[in-house]
Amino acid sequence: MERPFLGFGLGLRTDHYQYVIENKPQVDWFEIISENYMVPGGKPLTNLDRIRQDYPMVMHGVSMSIGSTDPLNQTYLQKLKTLIDRVEPKWISDHLCWTSVNHINSHDLLPLPYNESTIEHIVGRIKHVQDVLGRQMLIENLSSYVTYNNSEMPEWEFVNEIAKRADCYILLDINNIFVSANNHHFEPEHYVNGIDSDRVMQFHLAGHSYNGDMIIDTHDHDVCDPVWDLYGYALERFGAVSTMIERDDNIPPFIALRQELEIAEKIAANVLTKEQLQITSDPALKGVA
Amino acid sequence: MSTLHELQHRFMDYLLAESTAVVNDIESTSMLGAEDRLDIYASAYKLRLKEAITTDYDKLASYLGDEQFDQLMERYIDQYPSHADSLRYFSVNLPELVRDEAPFNQVKELYEIALIERAFANSFDAKDLQFATLDELASLPAEAWATLQFSFQESVQILHLKYNSFPIWKALSDEGKPPKSERTGLTEWVLWRRSNLVSHYRVLSKAESLLIDLAIKGESFPVMCERLLDFFSEEETPMKAIGFLQSWIQEEMLSGFSF
């Protein structure tokens, strides 16, 4: 597959709406949290429309609950489809996790057991979502703090297998690999090496916090040096991958985030050629047949 | 081996503090035991929901103080597990809990402050509709008035308050000292979002409140005028009704007419 490349983006956050609208800073693209715009109207959608006029966007969800054993929420999928029609994103993503069961939403990204029956369960659901939305989606690896006794394979094999069988793509969160590697005692490079390159469509970068020996995926700090190193390693393995920084708490001024994104740009410029870093002019993913 | 559904059920029970059975499904390591690992999720669950409630009811939080607001949030999280796709809608039932349950229902203005905050949240992201104009009103054909009905912006909400809760809310909003709570008698307030996306509010007279209520229920202009006779003379009523109508248009509450 020739991977489309959007360049370097940031997560669009309410704190930065005004700055972005007034200054139109140079950023290749923005990622929005889909659920923040699943509202009837008002400021969220007005600001979204204004910013969308000037920037490409991708949509990132937190509530699809693709790994849940509840039936897929068709109302949610229709709301997502409506938002897709409005935003016309380059692609959409959600997490390889479950968030709700018995119709109670934890509003958290909860981990799954890595085994064959879970794979079968999720592959069918992703296929259904892709059929409903008429497009392929990306699934993101989590940060996690537990391992289930009935897991039978490493996480990267689980991710690969689902992406292959569902014919979807991978949003590889570099920070999440680092966090989970610490919490579950594996080498993060081993994870990167294990991921199928031709399924990787996007990278996430973020900061984290320590809680004793555990690392928590808090998105409230700058990206740390070991994660930058892992990012460089991932670029060497995968080539140019659309990259963005997520910041959800302790949010700094936009300019500071933009400067942090320059670190990603510099690392990519050191690892890859200018030709590899050419932004793809029309990178929308194909609809599913 | 347990099914995925059973596993997820046990995990959710842990988050809801209903059962610790899922501990047996989780590996313990030398770094951290299974229960401590699960507690990371249980803590995050509550923290996230409390953040959402505090965001939606920050004035109520200031008014109650940290300890009592935390008690309220704990109660709400226990009684209203989220069925919403988005955290935006998690705390929508908080005013009803405040109204119905001790000790919160013993401080009457708390319910009204919660209602005000929920109304602001609802107006913030209510559906965008057209704004009716005075020109459109002026160009209505004469025969339209016999059956004329009005559509309001979806952000328009009427609050029936018995205490000085709006002044209390305003003081909290300005980070000032709120006035002492006092019963004011039933007062109707209207809250809505204008075209500049800013939410406004003002007090309503009994007559205007009734008229808006009738209009929202789909009653026609003649019926509304007839009910206004309870407040005004026959000579005054048409001009009063037109006056209300014009102010609703100028204040961007109306979205359109039908006849």
Tell me: the pLDDT tens digits for B141-177? 999 999 999 999 999 999 999 999 999 999 999 999 9
B23: nearest CA partner in chain A: A148
CB contact under 8 A, B27 and A149: yes
Interface test with A, best of B85, B125, B192 (most A CBs within 10 A): B85
CB contact under 8 A, A42 and B193: yes
Return the pLDDT at A285. 64
Return the pLDDT at A2. 81
Report d(CA A69, CA A243) in Å as an integer. 32
Return the pLDDT at A288. 42
pLDDT at A289 over 50: no
Q: Is A250 in CB contact (< 8 Å) with chain B? A: no
User: A11 to chain B, minimum CA–CA distance in Å?
Assistant: 18
Return the pLDDT at B141. 95
Mean per-residue pLDDT over chain A, rounded: 96
Return the pLDDT at A147. 97
Tell me: the pLDDT tens digits for A89-115? 999 999 999 999 999 999 999 999 999
Using CB atoms, which residue from A46, A101, A185 is nearest to B9?
A101
Tell me: the pLDDT tens digits for A23-80? 999 999 999 999 999 999 999 999 999 999 999 999 999 999 999 999 999 999 999 9
CB contact under 8 A, B48 and A107: yes
pLDDT at B1 over 60: no
Closest alpha carbon to B33 in B20, B16, B46: B20
Of the CA atoms within 13 Å of residue B216, those in its CB half-sphere come to 16
Return the pLDDT at A281. 75
Q: How does residue B213 score in pLDDT terms, banded at 50, 70 and 90?
A: very high
Per-residue pLDDT, averaged over A137-161, amounts to 97
Per-residue pLDDT, averaged over A217-237, amounts to 96
Q: Is A221 in CB contact (< 8 Å) with chain B? A: no
Q: What is the 3-state secondary structure (H, E, C) of chain B?
A: CCCHHHHHHHHHHHHCCCCCHHHHHECCCCCCCHHHHHHHHHHHHHHHHHHHHHHHCHHHHHHHCHHHHHHHHHHHHHHCCCCCCCHHHCCCCHHHHHHHCCCHHHCHHHHHHHHHHHHHHHHHCCCCCCCCCHHHHHCCCHHHHHCCEEEECCCCEEEEEEECHHHHHHHHHCCCCCCCCCEEEEEEEEEEECCCCCEEEEEECHHHHHHHHHHHCCCCHHHHHHHHCCCCCCCHHHHHHHHHHHHHHHCCCEEEEEC
- Percent of chain B scoring above 90 in pLDDT: 99
Per-residue pLDDT, averaged over B90-112, amounts to 97
Per-residue pLDDT, averaged over B170-194, amounts to 96
User: Is ipTM strictly over 0.90?
Assistant: yes
Per-residue pLDDT, averaged over B87-102, amounts to 97
